[in-house]
Homo-oligomer: A and B are copies of this chain.
Amino acid sequence: MAEAAHLTIGDLARQTGTKVNTIRFYEESGLLPQAERTASGRRVYRDADTRRLAFIRQSRNLGFPLDAVRELLTLADDANQPCEAIDRIARVHLAEIDRKIADLSALRTELDRVIGSCSHGTVADCKIIETLAPRAHE
C-alpha cells in the first residue's frame, strides 16, 4: 500500500515540519546521508529519509544535542543490541536538563530577591543597582 514516492526537499520539509535550509544543514552535518540528485542537481528523497528526519526532529524536540542524535541514530540501527547505550544517553541528557533547571532556579531565586528589595525610588536608592554595583565599603 505504501508508495515509495520521490520527494523533493520541499516535500520532506513539509512532511516533517523542518525548514529546507535545516535539511541541507543536517545533510552537511552528516545526520542525513547525501541525497541522491536529479539530472539538474535537485535532491531526491524517499520514505526512509522521512523516517530518519522525523527521528532527528523528535530527538531535537526532546532536547538532545546533535551529537547525541548522531549516536542515537547509530545505536538505533542495531536492533538486536541491548538498549543500554541508548538509555545511558537519555539519562545523561536528563541529568543535564536537571542541572540547567537547578541553575536557573537558583538564579531565579536570587533575581527575585533583588527585585523584591527595590523600593521604587530614584536610581540612587535602587537596591537593584546597589546589588549590581560593588559596594564601595568605606
Contacts and interface: CB of A to CB of B under 8 A. Distances in A.
B128 A82 contact: no
Contacts of A107: 62-63, 97
A11 to B, nearest CB: 16
Interface in A33-53: 50-51
A29 interface: no
Interface residues of A, number: 54
A20 interface: no
Contacts of A136: 51
Interface in A65-120: 72, 75-76, 78-84, 86-87, 90-91, 93-94, 97-98, 100-101, 104-105, 107-108, 110-112, 114-115, 118, 120
A1 B87 CA distance: 61
Nearest to A87: B118
A72 B115 contact: no
A22 interface: no
Interface of A: 1, 50-51, 54-55, 58-59, 62-63, 72, 75-76, 78-84, 86-87, 90-91, 93-94, 97-98, 100-101, 104-105, 107-108, 110-112, 114-115, 118, 120-126, 128-129, 131-134, 136, 138
